[in-house]
């Protein structure tokens, strides 16, 4: 089955709903992929290999 998403937001929502169905809560998702910086802003965590890098990323 091939799913074609038209936007980043649609793809993101699809991934969140898949995670929710399999794991149960969005809270776990937030803890896993986000952390707060010194100004209490959420920033994404990125895992590359064995290292974890944190910050605003440019694409």
Nearest-angstrom CA–CA distance, 22 and 14: 12
Tell me, what's the pLDDT at 5? 45
pTM of the model: 0.24
Instruction: Give the model confidence (pLDDT) of 10-44 as tens digits.
Output: 767 666 666 666 665 555 555 666 666 667 676 66
Q: Does residue 11 belong to any structural domain of this protein? A: no
Does residue 45 lie in a domain region?
A: yes
Q: Which residues pair with 43 in a beta bridge?
A: 35
- Nearest C-alpha neighbor of 35 from the set 25, 46, 26, 49: 46
Q: Domain tally for the chain?
A: 1
Report in angstroms the alpha-carbon separations of 54 from 16, 41, 44, 45, 48: 20, 13, 6, 5, 11
- Residue 16 in any domain: the answer is no
């Amino acid at each position: 089955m091939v799913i074609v998403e038209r936007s980043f937001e649609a793809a993101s929502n699809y991934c969140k709903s898949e995670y929710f169905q399999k794991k149960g809560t969005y809270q776990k998702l937030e803890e896993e992929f986000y952390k707060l910086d010194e100004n209490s802003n959420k920033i994404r965590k990125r895992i590359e290999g064995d290292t974890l890098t944190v910050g605003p990323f440019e694409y």
